[in-house]
Amino acid sequence: MSLMESKVCLSDDFGPKISILGYGNMGKALFKYLLLCGVQKKNIRLTCRSEEKASLLNKQFDMEIVYICNRIAVSLSSYVFICVKPDMVETVCKEIANYLVPNCIVISLAASIEISKLEKWLTRIDLFKLTIYRSMPLISISKGSGIFPLFTRSETNLYHSVSPVKFLSYKSCQVFEVESEAELDQLTIFSACGLAYLAKLLKCYYDAGSALRMSKQLRNRVLVSTVKGLMDLYNQGDVGDFDKRLNGRATWIPKGSLETFESITEKVSSKGGITEASSKYIDTKMIEKNFEKVFGVANSKLSSLKN
Ligand SMILES: NC(=O)c1ccc[n+]([C@@H]2O[C@H](COP(=O)([O-])OP(=O)(O)OC[C@H]3O[C@@H](n4cnc5c(N)ncnc54)[C@H](OP(=O)(O)O)[C@@H]3O)[C@@H](O)[C@H]2O)c1
């Protein structure tokens, strides 16, 4: 189901009103994703800090949808996505708290900022109940793919007939709820940061291709297909089922059996062939150790951002 098909209350004939606070890398990716989901541009409010950027963007969009005031944006929205950096979240929450409309859903994309803090910072003078989610999507949602995990400890808000898990679902993007904030933190490192780690690894692989005297043009042409071929083998082309319910939460369940990386390596390495002879020189232990170190540093940084 796309956003357009959802029967979200607080929406009009043109769909729900959505704010994205902070139009940086993530805000931009989310904006593109919502458009892919079928949300109309005029139903999205984007915010940034500078007049110049806002007017430049409004010109570019040919529509007045970019604001420099978070308060106005949220007062017009039933869904509010917080896409500023973690150290700005407290300021933004306190700024908008009394301007949120009743029954709105706030979804924070900021790494490490726990729900308990969001609840405290978003407390309104009149203390109406808010539905708060945390999420950690991959920047690749701009292309309609990746993961969009969510966590909430709020009860389902009956005012909204469709939970964000359903209304954010789009084709090859996996939208699912996790059981704990600890899982969201694990996904922050393994998946959201993981895109950068894997990009660095692939850059080494790509650059090493020059040792084969292989042209950049040819490398560009085949790299994506090579990686995609590997992932298709691993996934068997099936992203899974979003509709199964586990412990009352919509959960992603993979379909079909997954090939292991070991079995793929084995299939490519014919006995006595080139892959078999050469792939043993890849120092997997060293790469694994390196990643353990990377994850350790990421964990420490994530913990320090919580304080
Ligand atoms: N990048 C990712 O892959 C990724 C993935 C998942 C989650 N996240 C989360 O997404 C959040 C944003 O990350 P990012 O990479 O998009 O950072 P970013 O590119 O620096 O974007 C943050 C944006 O927020 C704007 N901003 C700051 N204060 C604001 C305010 N008071 N009102 C409105 N806009 C404000 C900034 O404007 P200026 O240009 O004026 O500074 C900037 O454009 C972070 O909390 C991060 O943990 C990021």
Task: Tell me the whole-structure pTM to 2 decimals.
Answer: 0.89
* Phi, psi angle pair for 4, to nearest 5°: -65, -35
Model confidence at 10: pLDDT above 60: no
47 Cβ inside 6 Å of ligand 1: yes
| pLDDT at residue 48 in the model | 97
Separation CA 196–CA 139 (nearest Å): 10
Of residues 244 and 205, more confidence is placed in 205
Tell me if 212 is assigned to some domain: yes
| pLDDT at residue 2 in the model | 38
Residue 188's region, left for phi above 0, alpha for psi from -120 to 50, else beta, is: alpha
169 and 289 share a domain? Answer: no
Last residue of a domain, one of 135, 150, 178: 178
199 and 59 share a domain? Answer: no
Ligand 1 pocket test: pick from 23, 71, 85, 191 the residue with the most ligand atoms within 8 Å of its Cβ.
85
User: Distances in Å between the alpha carbon of 182 and those of 37, 72, 226?
Assistant: 28, 33, 33
Under the banding of pLDDT at 50, 70 and 90, the label for residue 185 is very high
121 and 156 share a domain? Answer: yes
43 Cβ inside 6 Å of ligand 1: no
| pLDDT at residue 134 in the model | 97
Model confidence at 9: pLDDT above 60: no
Last residue of a domain, one of 157, 178, 199: 178
107 Cβ inside 6 Å of ligand 1: no
118 and 262 share a domain? Answer: no
Distance 110 CA to ligand 1 centre (A): 8
Separation CA 149–CA 264 (nearest Å): 28
Ligand 1 pocket test: pick from 46, 77, 84 the residue with the most ligand atoms within 8 Å of its Cβ.
84
| pLDDT at residue 235 in the model | 72
Tell me if 185 is assigned to some domain: no
182, 299 contact by CB (below 8 A) = no
Under the banding of pLDDT at 50, 70 and 90, the label for residue 245 is very low
| pLDDT at residue 161 in the model | 56
Distance 167 CA to ligand 1 centre (A): 23
14 and 131 share a domain? Answer: yes
148, 191 contact by CB (below 8 A) = no
Tell me if 294 is assigned to some domain: yes
Question: How many domains does the chain divide into?
Answer: 2
